[in-house]
Chains A and B, each alone.
Chain A
């Protein structure tokens, strides 16, 4: 009966706590992300982490209690109880209720990520074995395609080896950028964690995704291929340089000359989202 009471009191409290966790702004130094999708994704991920942490803690505490209270020395005569319909109904229904709290945020974040709003510009990203190529769709007469190859350890330096490329993709902030993703031969995946973007590059298919980096969050962002594509799978990074709209316009006007861009003082930002 004590088990039942614990369940009856514990789980609604947990529901309330987790619901308020999702409603509130994350508060302890949590990076709020540089795109809407990243910010909302992180918030949802944070909620799920809290939820599962509470569930794991509940199960472990219960288990520890059982292991101490019902060890052979403390309880030499075992009970013979094998049924308790109420309890069995409770532990079927309560997980259902907990899972229901996931459905709304899961679906809403999913639809925001996947249903692409009217884009301000379109980029085509093509995976090759083993580098990426970026085309500015509709701007081909102004700016050439960017063939983005990884830098060697010497060129990139220890810190940015396997992340930095010779020619990053350049996009403006505050702009909805649609990315069409496809592949030349093998599977790849266009994956930029800080934007909360990952979509497979598949030969014969064109997938799409989008991102809009907040104004004021200009800088260099890194991603890495996320679908096994052969020998150099680990060595085909994605580097995205986000600049202001003005800087982007002068980049285009210069015909895609990286020298037209200001030096980037922003720190390296990679996938360190759930640290």
Chain B
């Protein structure tokens, strides 16, 4: 390992505030912008879910009486915001921008100006999404779009005549292009700008995870863009009829197109979290990753198989049973590389000297919750069982265990792992621990009862027999909300007290290149490229 920045301190002058943050082409500043953006969007997305959960706390309609359609609007926006404006920006735009160039020993991303464009498309997209809350969407002129984040026609075409959904289409197209540009940038950077001696098979797993994710983005998002355009032209009076049966179209075709994007999207959200957790587990155990190549190619396998399983989201649309049987088999296959990942994490810890640091607590919780979400996925993979469970809260619980608790735990894991490196300050361990435990207890309290609820999704009101579990689930928002409060207290405290972080505050287990730099790293790093020694990894 080399500390390759010694000579550039003299040139380490940062641009003035406006130039630095608005015209930024520096990968670390853009990464910071992405993280701030994700936190802001996350507060809004979380607020929506708290309000929905409060509504569902008891039977009857309490908070959505004047416009019950608004419940569907909240559910739709919660999904879109959390996926496109929280998890993806945080994991890929935030941590990806910050640490992929550093980990591979590159001075910056390959296309710094395109990086700037990638970021600034996102607030634009988010503005469109927020506007759609307030403009007419429903058939009665009610505000917002209430057709679910999956946007199935005809509810998203003839069912939502107002401009609210058009704003969502434009917003998602902008967010999609932002991600496509980001993906191009990551692929180019990772394939071409690795430091001398850093072969693909020596590259840190987080860089691997972002590389696989970038390929998924590049292949999946154009399909989303195309289907959104088709919705847009279908919505024009006298326009096309791709999904309109009265003009020879078929609503199910949209579902196929959407899930051809939608299923890889699931892995887009979880793969970078896999990468982060691998580093944290290895660092906290003071041991190199166990089965590095298996870990890297398990992610590649998940990415590849992820493209051929999409119709397991649509077992009830009336597909031929042989087609369903194929999707059952293909879906079950994904459990194998996923199992390889879980066992490799455990084997990395085996024989290690484990310190239960805050990021390690998040990583261990990630593994626990991801295993639970994974096995309920095995349940749902079976088409004959999905007949019962499709569009119920069992599905909601399943995907929140892998996303709300998989991807989001991955985000917090990375945040606490790299917070000192990014900000230069150490966090208060007590506040961070309170955040972790409250959040961990809270989300489990919210989502565990949902497995047993027997309630259909997207219901603003439900029969009284489902009341007890709903009440229990709603109680979970109290610890979850308090946990988030402690997250913000932790941030404020850290920036007030300003305990300086050393270069490598995790010690011997942290072996990737970011730990050879100062905290925070210099504005431009690696003006002299670091040279990797032959036995650096595994």
Contact = CB atoms under 8 A, between A and B. Distances in A.
A88 B353 contact: no
A51 B250 CA distance: 39
A62 B336 CA distance: 18
Interface residues of B, number: 89
Contacts of A71: 353-354, 356
B155 A229 contact: yes
Contacts, number: 263
A179 B410 CA distance: 45
Given A62-B346, A230-B159, A233-B72, A75 B353 contact: yes
Contacts of A67: 349, 354, 356, 364
Interface stretch (A24-32, A168-176, A188-196, A240-248): A188-196
Contacts of B154: 185-187, 203
Nearest to B387: A198
Interface stretch (A15-23, A100-108, A255-263): A100-108
Interface in B328-350: 328-329, 332-333, 335-336, 339-340, 342-344, 346-347, 349-350
Contacts of A270: 454, 463, 465
A273 B387 CA distance: 13
A196 B387 contact: yes
A57 B285 CA distance: 23
Nearest to A115: B321
18 contacts: A48-B382, A52-B375, A55-B371, A56-B372, A70-B354, A72-B354, A113-B321, A158-B464, A187-B155, A193-B454, A198-B388, A199-B316, A202-B251, A202-B317, A205-B252, A230-B139, A230-B159, A271-B392
Given A162-B462, A186-B159, A228-B72, 16 more contacts: A49-B379, A66-B346, A71-B356, A78-B351, A102-B378, A113-B384, A186-B155, A193-B388, A198-B390, A205-B245, A226-B391, A227-B391, A228-B148, A231-B69, A271-B454, A272-B465
Interface of A: 3, 37, 41, 44-45, 48-49, 51-52, 55-56, 59-60, 62-63, 66-67, 70-72, 75-84, 87-88, 91-92, 95-96, 99, 102-103, 106-107, 109-115, 158-163, 185-187, 189, 191, 193, 196-200, 202-205, 207-208, 224-231, 233-235, 268, 270-275
Interface of B: 68-69, 72, 138-139, 146-148, 152, 154-155, 158-159, 245-246, 249-252, 285-292, 294, 316-318, 320-321, 324-325, 328-329, 332-333, 335-336, 339-340, 342-344, 346-347, 349-356, 364, 367-368, 371-372, 375-376, 378-379, 382-385, 387-388, 390-392, 452, 454-465, 509, 538
